[in-house]
C-alpha cells in the first residue's frame, strides 16, 4: 500500500484489465464464484485466484467460503461510486453515427449499479424526484429529503426516518457513467430500487445488469413521474 498516495495503489488494482473485468462483473450485486469471475475476465483459474487475492487484500472485494467454493462481492458502496465515476471519465461519449448492439443499448437505458438504479431511466427518475421536490440536491455529493419527500416515499412503504438512522449514507449522488449525470444512490436509492423490483415495475434480464420495464412499470412511471418508456 502506498501510504503517501494511496490512490496510486487503488489505481494499480483497478488498472489491470482482468481485475477491472471482475469488478465490473460484480456491479450486478450478485456474489460470484472465482470460476465465474475467471470466465468474466477471460483468464485461467490460477490467474484469477491471484487477481482476486489482490482485490481482497486491497479492500475492494470481500470473500466468503461456502463448501469448497469461494464467493466474492464488492466490499462497500464507495467502491461502486468510484467505479461508476471512473467509467464516466474514461469512456468517451458515443458518437451519434455509431451503431450500438442491443445489449449495449439495454445497459444504457436501465441497469443496476450494484443496489440502485442507473442508466437513462435512473437519471430521469432522479431528475423528476428533484423537480417534484421529493429530494433536494444539497452541498457536496448528498441529497436531502424535499418538502414532499417523506409522504411520497411513505406511499411506496419506504420509511425515510428508518433509513436516515442507519449507518449507511442516506442519499448519495452517484455519477452515471453513460449519462454523465447523477442518479440516486445510498440507502434511499437502494430502497427505491428494491421497491421497484418487488412491485414488478422492473425485471432483471438474464446474465446482465440490464433491466426491463414491465407493463405495470410503464404505467407507474407514467403516472408517478410523467415518463414515457
pLDDT at 96: 55
pLDDT at 113: 86
pLDDT at 141: 87
pLDDT at 139: 75
pLDDT at 182: 92
Q: How confident is the model at residue 5 (pLDDT cuts 50, 70, 90)?
A: low
DSSP assignments along 93-162, one per residue: PPPTTPPPPHHHHHHHHSEEETTEEEHHHHHHHHHHHHHTTSEEE-STTBEEE-TTHHHHHHTTT--HHH
Is 84:151 a contact under the CB 8 Å cutoff?
no
> CA 199 to CA 13: how far, in whole Å?
38
pLDDT at 77: 83
pLDDT in tens, 46-100: 999 999 999 999 999 999 998 888 999 999 888 888 888 888 777 666 555 554 5
Stated pTM of the model: 0.73
Q: Which three cell numbers stand for residue 62?
A: 470481500
Burial class (CB in 10 A: 0-12, 13-18, 19+), 139: exposed
Domains of the chain, each with CATH number or no CATH: 6-75 (1.10.10.10), 78-225 (no CATH)
In angstroms, what is the C-alpha Rg of the chain? Answer: 18
Residue 208 has pLDDT above 80, yes or no: yes
Please compute, for residue 81, the number of CA atoms within 13 A of its CA located in the half-sphere on the CB side: 16
Amino acid at each position: 500500500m502506498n501510504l503517501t498516495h494511496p490512490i496510486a495503489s487503488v489505481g494499480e488494482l483497478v488498472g489491470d484489465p482482468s481485475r477491472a473485468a471482475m469488478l465490473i462483473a460484480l456491479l450486478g450485486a450478485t456474489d460470484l464464484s472465482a470460476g465465474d469471475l475467471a470466465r468474466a475476465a477471460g483468464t485461467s483459474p490460477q490467474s484469477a485466484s491471484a487477481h482476486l487475492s489482490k482485490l481482497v487484500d486491497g479492500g475492494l472485494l470481500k470473500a466468503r467460503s461456502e463448501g469448497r467454493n469461494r464467493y466474492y462481492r464488492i466490499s462497500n458502496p464507495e467502491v461502486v461510486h468510484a467505479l461508476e465515476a471512473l467509467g464516466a471519465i474514461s469512456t468517451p461519449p458515443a458518437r451519434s453515427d455509431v451503431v450500438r448492439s442491443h445489449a449495449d443499448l439495454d445497459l444504457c437505458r436501465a441497469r443496476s449499479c450494484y443496489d440502485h438504479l442507473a442508466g437513462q431511466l435512473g437519471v430521469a427518475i432522479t431528475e423528476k424526484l428533484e423537480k417534484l421536490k421529493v429530494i433536494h440536491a444539497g452541498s457536496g455529493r448528498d441529497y436531502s429529503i424535499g418538502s414532499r419527500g417523506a409522504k411520497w416515499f411513505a406511499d411506496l412503504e419506504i420509511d425515510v426516518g428508518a433509513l436516515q438512522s442507519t449507518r449507511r449514507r442516506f442519499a448519495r449522488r452517484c455519477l452515471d457513467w453513460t449519462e454523465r449525470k447523477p442518479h440516486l444512490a445510498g440507502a434511499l436509492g437502494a430502497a427505491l430500487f428494491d421497491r421497484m423490483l418487488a412491485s414488478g415495475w422492473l425485471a432483471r434480464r438474464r446474465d446482465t445488469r440490464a433491466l426491463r420495464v414491465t407493463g405495470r412499470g410503464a404505467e407507474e412511471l407514467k403516472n408517478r413521474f410523467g415518463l414515457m418508456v
